[in-house]
Structure 1
Amino acid sequence: MLSSDKITLFELNQKVKETLSQSFRTSYWIVAEVSEAKENSSGHCYLELIQKDELQDYPKAKARATIWAYTYRMLKPYFETTTGRSISSGIKILVLAEVVFHEVFGYSLNITDIEPNYTIGDIEQKRRETIEKLVAEGVFDMNKGLELPIPPKRIAVISSPSAAGLQDFINQLHTNNYGYIIEHTLFTAVMQGNSAEDSIINALNQINEKYYNFDVVVIIRGGGSQADLACFDSYWLASHVAQFPLPIITGIGHEKDISVVDLVAHTKLKTPTAVAEFILSKFIEAESILHDLKDKLEFIINENITTERLQFEKRLSSITPRIFQEISKGKINIERLYQKSSYSSSQFILNEHSKIAKTARSFELLSLMKITKSHNNINQYKNSLANYSLQYLVNQNNSIEIIHKINTSSNPLNILKRGYSITLYNGKILKDPKQVKKGETITSKLNEGELNSTVF
């Protein structure tokens, strides 16, 4: 091989670059799906474009693309304003691009223009496909079929703590002019961007675990661009909303378009404030129903009272003559009974007086006997207590003398007088010879004086 046949990698890449520039002299309108989109701090937008196999849904072509900052500043607002979407993963775009090759970074596309109307058509097609799929699965109207509790006192709120409309919703709900008390629990979620779909579904799953604690679910957001609403056309989010066991009210905050989530939700409203007004209207409706029921109940009660009073008066008028007849008969019978009972009552009273006098004499005699017996028992107890107390004091005195003798004999000084000694080591009583080492001094305390000894 001749040395002239060799070329460097840089030279090879230069040849590729020259060949491509000669072969692709003009720009091309390219249809592709955005697989990844990133904006850097310099204002450039870097994309990864793919084309999927229609049957197996895997990429069969892929290319890097760049929209330089000076172009992106014009294309971004134009695209988002027209489509209501940002350039993000999953959407299809039609772009005008130049084929470029860099010796270090390789092949890529340089995007110079974009046709948003193509993306609108693709988004609308996907939206129709999502709706048709939900209808075919029989879930499209499931949430709408749920009965909305009146009033909805316990509300689960899905929103971002920083959402512009959340505080407006809470303030209007809790500072209402009617004094209604409404409970709300916030389930935090990301409400825009690529992670919004999964975040909202996660919040729904959390509510579902304790759905019995709530009457209704509210999904609200406020402010932001229409381009941030793509997640609300998602099939999976719409499917979760449609099949949720509680009625869902949406106040996503956009007025021009209705998302698929809006379509499957129980009630769709434009703004968080409108949602709060709707909930308060249900409380007013409930209060009105209660007032109507109260009025109906009062009417029924009054009607029943009037009917019963008339029937009572009718029955009373029919039995009044009979009552007077019975009263007259009763008077006659009472007079007869009184006359018969006069003699019997006097005789009964005399008999009872006699019985009472007899009982009193018996009770007096019995009481005297009981008092005499109790007096004798008290004297016996008194003598027994005196004897027992005297014997107890003698026994206690003997015990004290014995304890005194034992304490006296146990006194260490008395023990020393009997010829015993106490051995001290470092001023403390020595109890174990193992505590002393050879050459150390111990002290033996005697009855009179001390004796020092050295251990060998």
Structure 2
Amino acid sequence: MRKATFSLYELNSLVRQTIDQTLNEEYWVEAELAECRINRGHCYMELIQKDEQSNTPIARAQAKCWQSSWAMLGPYFEKTAGQALHAGLKTRLKVYPQFHETYGFSWIVTDIDPTYTLGDLARRKLEIIQQLKSQGVFDLQKELKLSPFCLNIAVISSETAAGYGDFVNQLADSSYHFQTRLYPAIMQGEQVEHSIIDALNSIYNEIENYDCVVIIRGGGATADLSGFDTLTLAENVAQFPLPIITGIGHDRDESILDMVSHQRVKTPTAAAQFLIGSIDTTVQRIDNCQERMIRYITSRMEAEHLKVTRLADRIPALFSLVRTRQEARIDTLSTRIQSALTLTFEKQRHQLQLLQQRAKALDPTLLLKRGYSITTRQGRVIKNAAEIKPGTEIETRLEQGIIISIAK
């Protein structure tokens, strides 16, 4: 017996009828968004489930949220979760099945549970924070010291962002000479991570020109902040050698980028106020030091003047005392010198007397009186006869008279 043959439309209609009859309820489903796009007010999604071990997709399905539902669900999710639906988010959706003969099967979304997404985001954020801490980089930025004269600023922001203009104008209105340079970056969406890292790399190549880095977003929606909660961006910011100040403009929650930065403020204007306040603090410290130095020098001068005055009052009495002491010392020295000179003179006189006696005992005239004579030649005393040659004239001195002879 020949089996019945269906046209594709008939077969699809049979599938639609079967689904309508057997799956006629709404179901809550947990899935990750592989794709999410808005077209003509409708939200088109691709749902995916991955194996927990291998991360390999094990299920896929198309889902749609019609404009009538999306007009309410989309804003509600953004307000509650702090960001728009986008690829990579874990979601919990309320759906019912729909099969169309022409367009095929899809799940129709009637509700979204933002608390589920928040829980998953919080879990992922916690995992990133724990990994940063285990690597020892989470607090590296906090250990950096902001220069007390932080005037050269590298800015990472969107060139057209109103917040960037507010930041620059706020600095320009201050009394300090700030120098800023913009490194343009995409500040929302999936390209945030790579864009900011590229800007940081450019700043690093010119790092000697800057005192700090400011990352500001300002002027954007509160959604699309997931790009600031990535591990790679956090690692780059945490290990950057200059202090990084963030002002990406959201109050509801603190991003991982905020957590690892040197200083987190709420808005670009607040970032400018922080930098101005830092210089104000430095100026105040300088003024305080100046006042303390003036007070110290004045006090020291007064103390020294008082010491000089007291010394001046004591000088006459001290001079009189010193004079008396020195006069007594001079008298003592004079007496001692006089005694020493007297003793020395006596010794010298005695020695002279002894020398006189010895000289008198050696006087040649005494020898002559005793019968001795002295023979000389040309005034030189002759002690050896061999020195005299025959025919030499010699002179002999007696006690009385002189004899001149010729030697034979």
TM-score (norm 2): 0.71
Match of 1:267 among 263, 266, 290: 263
SS at match of 1:253: coil
SS at match of 2:162: coil
Is residue 248–residue 268 contact of structure 2 (8 Å, CA) maintained in 1?
yes
Which residue of structure 2 aligns with residue 114 of structure 1?
A: 112
CA distance in structure 2 between the aligned counterparts of 1:22 and 1:206, rounded to whole angstroms: 61
**1:143-182 → structure 2 map (5 Å cutoff):** 143-176=141-174, 179-182=175-178
Higher helix share: 1
Which residue of structure 2 aligns with residue 219 of structure 1?
A: 215
Q: Deviations over 1:144-192 (max 9, x none)?
A: 110110121111111112222211111110111xx21000111111111
CA distance in structure 2 between the aligned counterparts of 1:18 and 1:210, rounded to whole angstroms: 67
CA distance in structure 1 between the aligned counterparts of 2:247 and 2:270, rounded to whole angstroms: 7
**1:46-445 → structure 2 map (5 Å cutoff):** 46-176=44-174, 179-298=175-294
Q: Structure 1 residue 9: deviation in Å?
A: 2.8
Which residue of structure 2 aligns with residue 412 of structure 1?
A: none
Q: Deviations over 1:101-132 (max 9, x none)?
A: 23333221111111122112112211222211
Q: Structure 1 residue 209: deviation in Å?
A: 2.0
Q: Structure 1 residue 311: deviation in Å?
A: 7.5
Q: Deviations over 1:201-242 (max 9, x none)?
A: 221222122222111111112233322322222222222221
Counterpart amino acid of 1:113? D
Counterpart amino acid of 1:183? Q
Is residue 82–residue 252 contact of structure 2 (8 Å, CA) maintained in 1?
no
SS at match of 2:237: helix
**1:4-15 → structure 2 map (5 Å cutoff):** 5-15=4-14
CA distance in structure 1 between the aligned counterparts of 2:151 and 2:309, rounded to whole angstroms: 46
Q: Structure 1 residue 7: deviation in Å?
A: 3.0
Q: Structure 1 residue 66: deviation in Å?
A: 0.8
CA distance in structure 2 between the aligned counterparts of 1:283 and 1:45, rounded to whole angstroms: 50
Q: Looking at CA atoms only, which structure, 1 or 2, has the larger radius of gyration?
A: 2
Counterpart amino acid of 1:207? I
Which residue of structure 1 aligns with residue 35 of structure 2?
A: 36
Percentage of matched positions with identical amino acids: 43
Is residue 228–residue 256 contact of structure 2 (8 Å, CA) maintained in 1?
yes
Q: Structure 1 residue 305: deviation in Å?
A: 6.5
CA distance in structure 2 between the aligned counterparts of 1:72 and 1:205, rounded to whole angstroms: 40
Listed as ranges, the gaps of 5+ residues in structure 2 are: 321-408
TM-score (norm 1): 0.64
CA distance in structure 2 between the aligned counterparts of 1:12 and 1:168, rounded to whole angstroms: 63
Counterpart amino acid of 2:37? K
Counterpart amino acid of 1:29? W
Counterpart amino acid of 1:171? N
Q: Structure 1 residue 244: deviation in Å?
A: 1.3
CA distance in structure 1 between the aligned counterparts of 2:296 and 2:24, rounded to whole angstroms: 91
CA distance in structure 1 between the aligned counterparts of 2:227 and 2:201, rounded to whole angstroms: 17
CA distance in structure 1 between the aligned counterparts of 2:199 and 2:58, rounded to whole angstroms: 36
Q: CA RMSD in A?
A: 2.7
Which residue of structure 1 aligns with residue 328 of structure 2?
A: none
Counterpart amino acid of 2:94? L
Give the length in aligned residue pairs.
318
More displaced 10-residue stretch of structure 1: 218-227 or 150-159:
218-227
CA distance in structure 2 between the aligned counterparts of 1:184 and 1:231, rounded to whole angstroms: 25
SS at match of 1:227: coil
SS at match of 1:34: strand
